[in-house]
């Protein structure tokens, strides 16, 4: 599933290509996503100008004029790209927004399309008629704060009050938005903390070390344009590169890049979890 670095990369790629464009037409596929597309949304989209594109957790928020919103979740295999209308429409494409060219003469610039593709159909597209409804949606989702600018006292309190393991805490979107299986493993390795450690047993210095490790890993992953394990591509249709730098995730049995001991794999919080038994001691 695409995590924060992948979603952030897509937003950064698409933002300059979508800004100030108007939606000329909407095409919707026949198969439903996790949240079915409502045909009544289509006339509310046509003619709208795109004001901004942003990210909240793993959600992509397209803000249109008159403060209406189209919100995308990539699920496990979602792809959101801008391509020329001449590009063949790939199977499993569920939504196409045709964008008006700039200028008076349509021939001045090739017509582009924003396309949403999702092979496994766990993603979603949702329309919100105003900012209040959008905020209600995110409030009901109980999304925690973003990792960037994370308050240190809030973070220490979150850990001190829970008996859950660190891996479960990092995966909980109500505690911290945007982190999933890949970057929780990588951040814990960076911080030299065992994924089984209970939050309440983590001291303030270790909590701070983990907070810094999260930012280090996320920033590096964004710099490398995310991780392409299976289906993820950026907004330009290109693969990420951070998978080439994984230090523990997906490296079961391989030597630790720090100490050389074989990377171990266990199951925690319902997810496969990778760590180094030498660098990440449980006690």
What positions carry a catalytic annotation?
2-3, 58, 271
Tell which residue, 133, 281, 149, has the closest CA to residue 211.
149
Burial of 183 (0-12, 13-18, 19+ CB in 10 A): buried
Q: Which residues contact 36 (CB under 8 A, 6 or more apart)?
A: none
Beta bridge partners of 61: 54, 71
Task: Provide the 8-state DSSP code for 34.
Answer: S
Rounded to whole angstroms, the Cα distance separating 237 from 188 reads: 30
- What are the φ/ψ torsions at residue 141 (nearest 5 degrees)? -80, -10
Tell which residue, 182, 178, 167, 173, has the closest CA to residue 280.
167
Rounded to whole angstroms, the Cα distance separating 67 from 162 reads: 39
Q: Which residues contact 14 (CB under 8 A, 6 or more apart)?
A: 53, 80, 81, 82, 114, 235
DSSP string, 112-145: EEEEEEESS---EEEEESSHHHHHHHHHHHT---
């Amino acid at each position: 599933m695409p995590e924060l670095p992948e979603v952030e990369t897509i937003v950064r790629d698409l933002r300059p290509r979508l800004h100030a464009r108007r939606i000329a037409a909407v095409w919707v596929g026949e198969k439903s996503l996790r949240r079915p597309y409502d045909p009544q949304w289509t006339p509310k989209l046509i003619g709208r100008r795109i004001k901004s594109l942003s990210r909240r957790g793993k959600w992509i928020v397209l803000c249109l004029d008159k403060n209406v919103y189209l919100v995308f979740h990539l699920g496990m295999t979602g792809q959101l790209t801008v391509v020329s209308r001449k590009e063949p429409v790939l199977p499993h494409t569920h939504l196409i927004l045709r964008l008006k060219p700039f200028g008076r003469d349509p021939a001045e610039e090739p017509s582009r399309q924003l396309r949403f593709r999702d092979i496994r159909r766990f993603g979603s597209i949702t329309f919100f008629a105003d900012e209040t409804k959008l905020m209600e949606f995110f409030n009901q989702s109980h999304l925690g704060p973003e990792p960037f600018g994370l308050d240190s006292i809030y973070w220490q309190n979150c850990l001190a009050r829970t008996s859950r393991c660190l891996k479960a805490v990092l995966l909980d979107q109500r505690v911290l938005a945007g982190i999933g299986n890949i970057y929780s493993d990588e951040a814990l390795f960076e911080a030299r903390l065992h994924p089984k450690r209970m939050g309440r047993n983590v001291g303030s210095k270790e909590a701070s070390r983990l907070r810094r490790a999260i930012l280090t890993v996320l920033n590096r992953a964004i710099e490398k344009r995310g991780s392409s394990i299976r289906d993820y591509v950026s907004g330009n249709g290109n693969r990420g590169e951070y998978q080439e730098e994984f230090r523990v995730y997906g490296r079961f049995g391989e030597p630790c890049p720090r100490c050389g001991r074989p990377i171990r794999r266990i199951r925690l919080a319902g997810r496969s979890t990778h760590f180094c038994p030498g660098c990440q001691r449980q006690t």
